[in-house]
Every structure is written in structure tokens, then in C-alpha cells.
Chain A
């Protein structure tokens, strides 16, 4: 501001010196002329002076042409607003706190949304990349990838990567399980991934690694000479060739944060990405990919399943289109919902401030009257009031931005480690600033326009005398209550959802089961016999431990991994094959007993089973109807048993089909051991760890109770409950402040009336009733409208809730109504007490 003033001052003095000299010259010329026509110099001076008129007026009018009138006015308004706000500290702080919370929450949700859904992967021109899924499969084998890559089917290259593979890292006598993204040799050159130092993995390399910044910093103490050194992964030496920058984001998005990039090997299943041609539209890309897959079908025909060219899915990796039909869809909808809720919250906050401003502007009526009578136009007054609200909202936005930095800083530090590592890297950027500025302007209009319009209306006194229930403040409060009921109903629904999810029986026992993840160094177990021997030793060793009731194994851990199989199913009952998407995994003997899943017919696998299938009830019913499936066949294998349905990957899923096969015990380097404990699981963790490390000290090992391994399954419920719970609470607090303010104000306005009533003998009870009646009317109207709105608004939330929780459940509404009613009552309490303390003598003497 001072710079503006200095500039204006300098300009003004300069300009005024010029002008006065010019006017002096003008007069001198006139005097000369008059003298020349014979008038005495003295008279000539007087006449010239008279003709010219007021110097001051000319100066002022000339200055008006120069100065930025609006800028001067704005500066005056700003100064005035700052003074007015500094004077009324209680008002300013309340308004600022409301707006800071509203804007802070909004921008934080915005930041998270932008980071999770709209951040750019660290590849060159990500908008030209598409991911495609042949036959609807997310990943395909290396052989097929090689055919696609080596036959010149993709002119701009095709890259393969496996985002979530595991690796055993041996360091200083200890083994750690790490998440690695495995990539084909051309990955770094085709994607042009920016590196902090070194180079990417090159084609043909099998023992090089590129490290992520976080891993290098937290696990390798940010060793400055890391490039060129050797790390031991899966028992083999790998040379570190490159280091990624701190802001690296994978091509898969969603904050996926692997520790290292390693070369893919023959067994790696690969997700496929390719670049679109210059100016090529989506149908063109699809046709090109389809042609390539048709060639693949010719060269590598697929038996017993969809052809590669069938069910093809192609989608970009950035932008809105990337979220269609993908996992991003549900996440995107969830964030749309969150943005709506925080938007409502900001609305409540703005209503609050608008109401405070309304009360304040009625109190400042005298001031406006004086200014109006001194010649201020209505527009001028309006502009001044709007400047005040703009100052409030800008300060509120600044505070909100500070809140955003604090909250996103916390979120950045939070890391989800299981089953895949996810980490957010939210950095303030121009999008955040633009969004905050837009919110500030929007709030300024929301909070300022109505009160300012109202305050500057010519005959303010007229409607203040009337006492109607339909005044603006009451309407605002009712609106606020309505919106907060909607938010509260949503919050309560998510709270119940969390409780329900925590208590939900996923169909297996989570309380007495332990999961041991045993990851071997593959080189040490080159033959299937060696692996089978170790697995058997592990099973036997654990069974010996006191407190262990049962031990088994599986390929896929419930609610942590997912395997979907879509191949055809043939039974002996029908000649036709059925194509069904089903959960499919291999489990060891005694698996169902260990997990506490009841066997409803037949039996489960025993130690000698080499083949045979166990199906769940849903699949049994689908394939066999009411016929007992035991003894029938499933793809030429005998059906041994039928087990209860459980949740397999998410708590929200509904009765998936599932088929289990016998575990061969000699599969890959990862062994998932499931242990059933007869004692509290925590006491068994150390002994299990010890027993397994005694078998192989070079293995990476993680042992935890199943109850703590449900992070991912509970994440949506937890996040929803945490975010919406806090929003609901905030909304409630803001709405009750609003209600309190309005009632206090109405008591202040009716002080005289209350005084008269007390003087005429009204009992305290009648006085309280008088005040409370106002409050109840407002709360009642707000409740009725809010419940009605909530009933419709919460309906679409069903998609985020566990099955069985109905958004229209009356219980939610009863509780919400009760909570808001109670808060409303408490908000009436203060004003009612104030009314009781009214001294009739004083009240009557007022104005």
C-alpha cells in the first residue's frame, strides 16, 4: 500500500507543479493582452483573475482526469475495512475461524483429489500414453509381451511393467521385504522417466536397479555415492545404475510408491502401455491395438479362455478418461462426494459469517445513515461493505491455506504400507492457489452481498420494526440447519459404516488367526523339491509350537490380495462350458479349519490330495442348483467339498463365486502361512518368527495378526468415517454458533418487550418460553427441511457403504435429529438466560 501511496504522491506533486505554472502563464498572457488594450496593470490582473475562476476547481477537475479514482477509493475502503475489523475483534475472529475452517477443509480435499486423481506420472508427455488390457486381463505373460514388442506392431514402442512385485533385500545380515516395480528393458527409454542421477535400466540388463528417492533416503541414509554400488535382491547382486528424484510418480498413479525399479524376468506378468500416434483419436488407437492383438491371437492362440483381442480395454493414463471403467471410477466418485460435502460445509461457514455481518450491519445503521447524509451514494456504501467482506474472506482464505499446508503435510507423512505401499506427495501449486482464490471471491460474495444490500437499503428502519418470522436472518439460520443436517446425516452414515465394517464378520476368523509372510531368496531354492521341503518343514515346525492350533498355507491372503479367474468351467452335468468370473486360489490342507471357514458339505483338502476342487456355496448353487455337488466334477476334477461364502478382497463385495485347488507346496519364493492360535495372537508372534528364521535366516519375514492386516479392506470405511465425521462435527459446531448468534440477537432486539413483560409480572418461565419458542421454531423448521433433504441426498451414498447398511434407515435420521435438537436447545440456553437477567427499568430506559 505504501508504494502505491508514494507513487500517487510523487505523481500528484509533479502534476500540480506543472499545472499551477501553466495556469500562471495563462493569466500572465491574459494580463499582457489586457494591458495592451489600455487597461492598467492592476485592473488587468484583477480581471484576468476573475475570468479564470477558481484555481482550486480547475486543479481538482484536472487531477480527476489523472488519478485512478477507483484505486484511491479502494485504498480508502481497505484502510477503513481494516480499522473496522480491528475494532470488532470478537466478530473478526469468529468470522475468520469459520472461513479458515471452511476454506482449509475445501482446499485440503481438493489437494488430495488433485494429487490422487490428476497428478501427472513422471514420464515424458503422459497424455500420449494409453494402458491396454488384452482379453480384459490387467497383466499378460512375458512371452506374449515379447511377440507384441518384437514384431513392429507398435511404431512408438510398447512397454511392460509389473507395479507390485515383491523382492527380498538382504542388508547387514537382515532380510527385508521390499516392493519393486519390474519393467521391460525399453521402459526408461520409451517413457523417458526423469532421473536425479545415473541412468535408467537398459535393454538386456538383468542385474541393474533404479532406486526411488524415499528408499534411498530412509533405508540407505542418502548415500551420495549410491550409483554404481551393489545391493543384494533375492540373493543376487544388482548394480544401482540410477536414482529417481523425490517427486517421482509411477505410471500407475494413485500414490503407488515402490522402493526400487528392477528388470522384469521371464516369469513377470506385465501391464502394457503404449503411446498414441500424433493426433490420433481414441478409436484409432483402439483399432491399432486390436490389429496387433489379432496378430497375437494368430501367433499364440489362447485355449480355454477369451482370445487376446476380446474384451479389450484401452484407456489413457491421465485425465478424466483414465477414470472411466477403471479402479479410478469409484475413487473419483468418492472424491466428488467429499468435495460436495466440504462445499456444503463452506456454505454453512459462509452463512454464519453472513449472519454475523447482518447483525453487525444493523448495529452500524447509524454510521451508514451519517455517511449517506454526508453524500455517500448507495453504490459507494455497497462497495465499502463488499470490500470489508472481501478482506475477511481473503484473510480467511490465507488462514485456510495455512491449514491446508499443515493438513497436507500430515497426509504426506502418512504412508500406507500394506498390501501395497502408497504415499502422497502433495505440493502446493498454481491449481491450489487458483482454487483458493476462487473460493475466497465466492465466499466474499456469499457472505457480503446480502448483508451489504440489506444495510444500504434506503429505509432500513421499516423492516426492523416489523417482527416477522420471515426475516433474512431466520431464513439463513434455517438454511444453515438444513445443510448441516444433510452433512450430519452423511457423517453419521459413514460412522455407522465404520462400526459395521469393524464388527462385520467377513466370513472367516480374524481374531485368532495370524499371517506369516515368508519370502525366500529364490536362488537358494532352485528346485521345486527344495521349496516343497522347506514348506513342509515350516508347517511342521509351527505345528510344534505351544498355543498353535492349526497351520496351513495359501497363495492369496484374504482381503489383501485378489486373483480373479475367468476361464470356462465344465461340469459333468452339462455339455456346455460356463464362463464365470471367480476368485481362484490354491490352499493347503486344513486351510478352512485354520481360517474358521465352515465346510458345509464334503470335506476340505488333506495332506495327500493332489487334485480336486473345493467351491463356495455361491458357486455350488450357480453350477449345480439344488443338486449336491460332492462327487460331481469341475473341469474334470472331483469336487471334494463346499465351504461358506466369505469376503475375498473387499468388505463391500457381494457374494463372489470362489473355487479352491490343492496347494502344490513348491510354488514361488513367497510362502503365505496361516496360523490359528489358541492363545492371544500377539503372544505367538515372536515364537513364530523365531521358528521360521531358524529354518532360513536369509528369508524376509513379516508376521502379524489378521486383525491388523485388514488395512486395505477397512481403508474406505476408515477414511470415509474420519473425513465425514470431522466434517459433520464441524458443520454442527458452525450451525450451533449460527443459531446461538441469531437467538442472542433477537433477545437483544426484544429487550424492551421483555422488560415490559417482566414489569407487568411475567414469570421467569414465561420469559424463557418466549425466547425458546423462537429457537424451537427455527430448529423445528430446519430439522423438517433438513431431514427431507437428507433423505434424498444420502441415497446415492449406498455405493460407498457395506452391504446391509441402508442410507434411508430411519435410525440415522432419528439420531441426527436428536443430536441437532439437543445442540439447538443448548444454543437457546444462553440467550434465554440473558433474557431472564433483563432489568425492566434499564430496558425501558433504552433509546
Chain B
């Protein structure tokens, strides 16, 4: 099970993006990231929950207890307005960063 490390700082961006589609619980967030990256990226549980808590502290997301698709009690995370702004800012920054790195890789 060798998985590439996430680029530092991108975990928040991924979580924010995934939550942009609507509220999800922790397991679903991890699963969704895995699916969307075609199994390439996998979020470790050891990083996911601290990251979610950090986002709660920052006010980017809110958490509510609800029922999962299997009718079990689960904790759903939802983007706040602040979280949405953060997502915009972070994805733009990420785009610029990727473009810049690619420029270097192509021209140098």
C-alpha cells in the first residue's frame, strides 16, 4: 500500500472542494477524494479528522449530527460562506502554483 504523499497544504483544498457539492460525513469525504482521484489519492484517517477539526475552529465548515445512507448516526460537515471564500482563494492560488511549476518544467 504505497501511496504518494499529498502536496503540503492541499488537504484543506481537497476537503473544501468535496464539500462544495453538499454536506458529507468524514468517511464519505475520504471516499469521495479517493474516487475522484481514481484511487490515486487516499486521505489518511490520522490526518482527516485533525484537519476537519482545524476547519471547524477556523469556521470554514460546520458539523451536524444526522443519519447516514445506512441509517446510522453520522456527523455531517457543511461549508460555510467563509469556507466557500477560502475554497475560491485556495483553488486560484493552487492553479497559479501549478501553472508556474509547469512553466518551469517546460522551459528550464
Query: What residues make up the interface of A, taking CB atoms closer than 8 Å to B?
Result: 18-19, 21-23, 25-26, 28-30, 32, 51-54, 57-58, 61-66
Taking a contact as CB atoms under 8 Å apart, the answer to whether A61 and B46 are in contact is: yes
- CA–CA, A348 and B13, complex, Å: 57
Do A53 and B57 touch across chains, with their CB atoms under 8 A apart?
no
B54 touches A51 (CB 8 A): no
Most buried by A among B30, B46, B57: B46
User: In the complex, A764 Cα to B25 Cα: how many Å?
Assistant: 83
Residue contact B53 to A25, C-beta cutoff 8 Å: no
Q: Which A residues are CB-close (under 8 A) to B46?
A: 52-54, 57-58, 61
Q: Are B44 and A25 in contact (CB under 8 A)?
A: no
| Cβ contact within 8 Å between A53 and B44 | yes
| Contact of B73 with A21 in the complex, beta carbons under 8 Å | yes
CB <8 Å contact, B49 and A62: yes
A39 CB to closest chain B CB, in angstroms?
A: 15
- List 10 extra interface pairs beyond A22-B75, A30-B27, CB under 8 A: A19-B49, A21-B75, A22-B26, A23-B49, A25-B68, A25-B75, A53-B44, A61-B49, A65-B50, A65-B57
State the CA gap A52–B48 with chains docked (Å): 11
Beyond A29-B27, A30-B27, A52-B45, whether A65 also contacts B75 by CB under 8 A is no
The minimal Cβ–Cβ distance linking B36 to chain A, given in whole angstroms, is: 17
A58 to B50, CA, bound (A): 7
Q: Is B37 located at the chain interface by the 8 A CB criterion?
A: no
On chain B, the residues within 8 Å of A30 by CB distance are: 27
Give every chain A residue within 8 A of B72 (Cβ-Cβ). Answer: 25, 28
Q: Complex: how many Å from CA A60 to CA B49?
A: 10
CA distance A22 to B77 in the complex (A): 12
CB <8 Å contact, A25 and B27: yes
Please report the C-alpha to C-alpha distance between residue A54 and residue B49 in the assembled complex, in whole angstroms: 12
B38 CB–A CB distance under 8 Å: no
Contacts of A21 in B (CB 8 A): 73, 75
Contact of A65 among B30, B53, B68 (CB under 8 A): B53
A355, B54: Cα distance in complex, Å: 44
Task: Report B-chain residues with C-beta under 8 Å of the C-beta of A63.
Answer: 53
Binding site for A on B (CB under 8 A): 25-27, 30, 44-46, 49-50, 52-54, 56-57, 63, 68, 70, 72-75
Q: Is the contact region of chain A dominated by helix, strand, or loop, or is it mixed?
A: helix
Whether the Cβ atoms of A53 and B68 lie closer than 8 Å is no
A67, closest chain B residue (CB): B57
B50 touches A51 (CB 8 A): no
Q: Please indicate the chain B residues that have their CB under 8 angstroms from the CB of A57 in the complex.
A: 46
A-B contact list, 22 entries, CB within 8 Å: A19-B53, A22-B26, A22-B75, A25-B68, A25-B73, A25-B74, A26-B26, A26-B30, A26-B45, A28-B72, A29-B27, A30-B27, A54-B46, A58-B45, A58-B46, A58-B50, A61-B46, A61-B49, A62-B49, A65-B53, A65-B57, A66-B53
Distance (whole angstroms) from the CB of B63 to the closest CB of chain A: 8
Select which of A52, A53, A65 is within 8 A of B54 by beta carbon. Answer: A65
Residues on B with C-beta less than 8 A from A26 are 26-27, 30, 45
| CB pair A62 B50 closer than 8 Å | yes
B19 smallest CB distance to A (angstroms): 16
Tell me how far the C-beta of B64 lies from the nearest C-beta in chain A, rounded to whole angstroms: 11
Q: How far is the CB of B67 from chain A (nearest CB, A)?
A: 11
Q: How far is the CA of A65 from the CA of B53 in the complex (A)?
A: 6
Query: Shortest beta-carbon distance, A56 to chain B, in Å?
Result: 11
CA–CA, A51 and B46, complex, Å? 10
Q: Which 10 pairs from chain A and chain B are nearest by CB?
A: A61-B50, A65-B53, A29-B27, A65-B54, A62-B53, A62-B50, A26-B27, A22-B75, A52-B45, A62-B49
Within the assembled complex, what's the spacing in Å between the Cα atoms of A28 and B44? 16
Chain B nearest CB, measured from A630 CB (Å):
97
A residues within 8 A CB of B30? 26
Minimal Cβ-Cβ distance residue in A for B57: A65
A30 to B, closest residue via Cβ: B27
Closest to B47 in A: A61
| A28 CA / B73 CA spacing, docked (Å) | 11
A19, A21, A65 — most chain B CB neighbours (10 Å): A65
Do A64 and B68 form a contact, CB below 8 Å, given A25-B27, A25-B75, A26-B45? no
| Complex CA–CA separation, A62 to B53 (angstroms) | 6
Query: Which residues of chain B are near A58, meaning CB under 8 Å?
Result: 45-46, 49-50
Give the residues in chain A near B44, CB-CB below 8 Å: 53
Contacts of A53 in B (CB 8 A): 44-46
Whether the Cβ atoms of B57 and A66 lie closer than 8 Å is yes
Q: Tell me the nearest residue of chain A to B25, going by C-beta.
A: A25
Could you tell me the distance in whole angstroms from the C-beta of B16 to the nearest C-beta in chain A? Answer: 16
CB A121 to nearest CB in B, in angstroms, measures 51
Chain B: CB-nearest residue to A25: B74
B57 partner residues in chain A, CB cutoff 8 A: 65-66
What chain A residues lie within 8 Å of B56 (beta carbons)? 65
> What is the CB-to-nearest-CB distance from B4 to chain A, in angstroms, rounded to a whole number?
17
Q: Which of A23, A57, A61 has the most CB of B within 10 A?
A: A61
Contact, CB under 8 Å: B75 / A18: yes
Chain B residues near A66 (CB, 8 Å)? Answer: 53, 57
Distance in Å from the Cβ of A63 to the closest Cβ of chain B? 8
Which residue in chain A gives the minimum CB-CB distance to B69? A29
- Chain A residues with Cβ under 8 A from B54's Cβ? 65
How far does the alpha carbon of A19 sit from the alpha carbon of B54 in the complex, in Å?
Answer: 13
Whole-angstrom distance between the Cβ of B2 and the nearest chain A Cβ: 14
Contact (Cβ within 8 A) B70 A22: no
Complex: A26 Cα to B57 Cα, angstroms = 21
B75 touches A32 (CB 8 A): no
**A23 in contact with B45 (CB, 8 Å):** yes
Query: In the complex, what's the smallest C-beta–C-beta distance from B41 to chain A, in angstroms?
Result: 15
A18: B residues at CB distance < 8 A: 63, 75
CA distance A58 to B52 in the complex (A): 11
List B contacts of A54 (CB < 8 A). 46
Most buried by B among A22, A28, A51: A22
Alpha-carbon separation in the docked complex, A19 to B44 (Å) = 16
A51 adjacent to B27 (CB under 8 Å):
no
Complex-state Cα separation, A714 to B53, whole angstroms: 72
Kindly list chain B residues whose C-beta atoms are within 8 Å of the C-beta of A25: 25-27, 68, 72-75
Tell me the minimal C-beta distance from A419 to chain B in angstroms: 69
Given contacts A28-B72, A53-B44, contact A64 B50 (CB under 8 A): yes
Give every chain A residue within 8 A of B27 (Cβ-Cβ): 25-26, 29-30
Nearest-neighbour CB distance to chain A for B60, whole angstroms, equals: 12
Measured CB to CB, the nearest residue on chain A to B1 is: A51
Residues of chain A contacted by B49 (CB below 8 angstroms): 19, 22-23, 58, 61-62
Min CB gap B13→A, angstroms: 17
Contacts of B75 in A (CB 8 A): 18, 21-22, 25
Please indicate which of the listed interface residues B25, B49, B52 has the most CB atoms of chain A within 10 Å of its own CB: B49
A805 to B97, CA, bound (A): 78
CA distance A48 to B68 in the complex (A): 19
Shortest distance between the CB of B72 and any CB in chain A (Å): 6
Chain B residue with the shortest CB-CB distance to A19: B49
Query: How far, in whole Å, are A52 and B49 apart by their CA atoms in the complex?
Result: 11
CA of A717 to CA of B24, assembled, Å: 82
A25 to B63, alpha carbons, bound, how many Å? 15
Most B-side CB within 10 Å, residue of A28, A54, A58: A58
Closest chain B residue to A51, Cβ basis: B45
CA distance A64 to B51 in the complex (A): 11
Instruction: Judge whether B73 and A32 touch: CB under 8 Å.
Output: no
Please indicate the chain A residues that have their CB under 8 angstroms from the CB of B63 in the complex. Answer: 18
Q: How far is the CA of A53 from the CA of B30 in the complex (A)?
A: 15
Point out which of B27, B56, B57, B63 has the most chain A C-beta atoms below 10 A from its C-beta.
B27
Shortest beta-carbon distance from B71 to chain A in Å: 12
CA distance A729 to B71 in the complex (A): 82
Q: How far is the CA of A26 from the CA of B53 in the complex (A)?
A: 15
A28 to B74, CA, bound (A): 11
Q: How far is the CB of A738 from chain B (nearest CB, A)?
A: 48
Chain A positions within 8 Å of B26 at CB level: 22, 25-26
A51 to B44, CA, bound (A): 8
Alpha-carbon separation in the docked complex, A22 to B27 (Å): 9
The CA of A51 and the CA of B30, in the complex, are separated in Å by 13
A19 smallest CB distance to B (angstroms): 7
The CA-CA distance from A58 to B43 in the complex, in Å, is 13
